[in-house]
Amino acid sequence: MIIIPAVDILGSKCVRLTMGDYGLKKEYGLSPLDAAVNWQDMGAKRLHLVDLDGAKSGNPDNFGIIRDIIKSVKIPVEVGGGIRDNKTIESYFDTGASYVVLGSILFKDIGSVSSSLLKYRGRIIAGMDMYDEKIAISGWRELIDMPLIEAIDGLKDNYGIETFIFTDIKKDGMLSGVNLDLISRLAKLNISLIASGGVSALDDIIKLKELNLSNLKGVIVGKALYDGRLDLKKANALLS
């Protein structure tokens, strides 16, 4: 398991939201590029970039900023937010992204990106954002009526998606601890998973490590890092 710092971009600024609420944003006094380079310098092994404007509009609104970040760091980068067509997927991979995270399009019109799912098999990650274990899409503003396990099995069996990011919206940005029960249940599925939401301090990293789940590949951390509650170097040392 590795720690994956999040760089969330809204209005060209580095922000963190609370429970996905665009009205509850906290801006940080550094640019998204500065944040990304800082986490790399602190020992990050991978970055999680999110175009929050794009997640709401359905367009790659912050493509230029994300491109500059990818060109400026030497570690793998995964990109999500507003990626809803083959052209955008192709553009991000062409600019050097290691992984692309898809969310809404997987449930609204997966057929339109099926060629990319095949072409980039192993590099497409499904972003499963959950509110009370229901899947949320369109910038977390819409809940879909599909059982979580059914959705996971369909994406894995029919489209070859192997890695899933599970975000607990109720815990996202709340610094309230991770949902260990949910992570443990999801880990029983034959998938690779990345946890997101709720990390508040080193103790949460310890609890995740103690689950001893071989298919828990990483945990995305945002506010705990930016607010100085979690020291990335200490956390990396613990995991190594």
Instruction: Give catalytic residue positions.
Output: 8, 129
**Between the CA of residue 16 and those of 149, 167, 195, 237, what are the distances in Å?**
29, 14, 17, 25
* Contact indicator for 100, 93 with CB cutoff of 8 Å: yes
Structure tokens at 66: 């994300």
